[in-house]
Amino acid sequence: MSSIATTLTKIQTVNLPRPTIDRIDALVITDAIRATGLGPGAQFYFDPTSVDMLGLLLAFGEPTLDPNQRTRFTRTVRRPSPNRESLELEIPIEGLQALDIETHIPDSERVMELSVWAGSQLLGFGINE
């Protein structure tokens, strides 16, 4: 494990919603997001190339001035409802593909789990085997 991966702590395991061709439902990862020191409106830049180097999909976070800004690999932390404390984040399809997760999984009973790691303004995602 590289030095960046040793700065992360495994925070939680979540069920991965079934992705479609062009999107995935957001993951509710409140504990992991809070462990980064960030919250609603923060943006995370996903680096699909990190999977080849580290075995984890890394997402680098920062507070944002424009929560509506979105690029190909950037996603914003959201609250699913104004009355709830939970936080959610979507993983770009390219990130799932880097983890070798099929983006057109047929309906099945198989549930895939992701381990979610966190550090200071940093998230890591890996397949829970």
Q: pTM score, two decimals? A: 0.85
The neighbouring-strand residues paired with 26 are none
Nearest one of 52, 57, 63 to 121, comparing CA atoms: 63
Q: What is the pLDDT of residue 106?
A: 55
Residue 79, both tokens: 């609250």
Q: What is the pLDDT of residue 64?
A: 78
Residue 38 has pLDDT above 50, yes or no: yes
Q: What is the DSSP letter of 22?
A: S
User: Do 37 and 121 touch, CB atoms closer than 8 A?
Assistant: yes
The neighbouring-strand residues paired with 124 are 58, 117
Q: What is the pLDDT of residue 4?
A: 58
Could you report the per-residue pLDDT of 70-102, keeping only the tens digit for each? 678 999 999 988 778 899 999 998 998 999 887
One-letter amino acid of 26: A
Winning range, highest mean pLDDT, from 10-24, 79-93, 113-127: 113-127
